Amino acid sequence: AHLEPPPPLSPAEVSARQASLAGLRAALERQRTWCFDPRGSVSGGKGGFTLHPDGRATTFGDGQPASEGRWRFEDDGRLQVLTPHQLSYFDASPNGTLGFNHTGGREELRPCSPAP
């Protein structure tokens, strides 16, 4: 089977991806530790993670032992966090935080302090 390459991205899509990555970088410059919203329907509001400058991600407070993973910026304008327990994608919210969309709507993360 011959697969056609995907069509090139539109200028608007390229611009949106660049804006999202810029928003993510700005959010991480201000804050590296994020907690899930206690009212969050998907996360259950438990725990959070710290995104270290060297690409490590550390989770805490979700009922699982603290774990080490990795994070990176994706070409599509999102941030990927990979830990032993899950793979998550986040994007920049207009209010300067991280968030993600799911079938029930959108969930925003909030800045927090890492667990001791």
Q: Give the C-alpha separation, 13 to 99, whole Å.
A: 19
The C-alpha atoms of residue 107 and residue 34 are separated, in whole angstroms, by: 13
Ranges of residues in the chain with a pLDDT under 70 are 1, 43, 114-116
Whether the Cβ atoms of residue 46 and residue 36 lie closer than 8 Å to each other = yes
Closest to 35 in 3D by CA, of 83, 97, 87, 78: 97
Strand, coil or helix: 106? strand
